[in-house]
Each structure stands twice: as C-alpha cells, then as structure tokens.
Amino acid sequence: MPSPLETPRAGFFYPSITFGTGSPLSVVNFTTPANPLLSIARVKGENISLSGFQETLSVRLESRITLGFTILSHDVLEDVREWWEGWASLGHQSVLVLDRFSTCSGMYEYDNYNTFFTRAHCLYNPFEPRRFTPSRELWVLQLAFRQGQDESA
C-alpha cells in the first residue's frame, strides 16, 4: 500500500526513465513528483590565439533539464542507484519522460519537453542522494540531463 506521499495526483510531474538494451527495457518509475527546471545552454568552444585574439566557435543550442525530488522512498532510490551505477555513470543514454501519466498538458514543460529527451544523458557524477529527515528513510535527489546526440551515426 503506497503512502499518501506516493499517491499520484493530476497536474504533477511523475517522470520515468527507460534504459537498457534488448527486450524488455528496464524502467524506473518515480512514485513522487519531480520539480523540473528547464534550461537551454549554448555549446561552444573558446580559444585565445597566439596573436591574442579570442576565438569562439558556437556549435549548437543544447536543451537541459534538472529534476529535483524532495522526497524519495528507499525502494525508488535503490532503483535510481542501480540505473546510475549500471547505465548512466557509464555514459549511456536513456529515455526520460517528464509526466508518464500525461496529466500536465497545457503546461510549458509538458507541451515542449515531455517527449523531447529521447537520448537523455545524465550529467551528474557522482551519485549523491541526501537524507531528508533523520527519523525516516526519505531522500532528496537531484538529477540533471542533457539531450544527447545520436550515437548510431
């Protein structure tokens, strides 16, 4: 029986991460809502030439997302740790869906990014969950992703 904190409510972002090779793929379903923070960063290379001029090569704009979880149960944290240790920390890409229940339509994040992170690359290293309260096993976790490039090319 899930706790009241893990009862899905409409209008909240309950993400899922799909990863692995072969069939079936592994899935981490978050039972508590995430607070998504979206950003767009410019990927560029900068160099100072021998003559002293600043050279800048702008490559592309890159979409990024940070998922903040204020409360995670031990079981979900273990699933996330297994995903991170066996897959994400090795640089492999995952599929990230922001709202697996599809109750957030009309919100900017859902309409523009819910199915966008099909090649999500986890940016954080190391894996650092923090304990929310000393009396119960509840955890705080933040995960950052960028939309990776097609690795098959």
Please report, to the nearest 10 degrees, the dihedral formed by the alpha carbons of residues 88, 120, 30, 70 taken in order: 90
pLDDT score at 37: 93
Residue 152 included in any domain: no
Residue 11 lies in a domain: no
Tell me the per-residue pLDDT of 76-106, one tens digit each, with 9 for 90 and over.
Answer: 999 999 999 999 999 999 999 999 999 999 9
The answer as to whether 2 is a domain residue is no
Residue 26 lies in a domain: yes
Coarse DSSP helix, strand, coil percentages of the chain, rounded to the nearest 5 percent:
15, 40, 45
**Entry pTM:** 0.82
Count of structural domains within the chain: 1
Does residue 8 lie in a domain region?
Answer: no
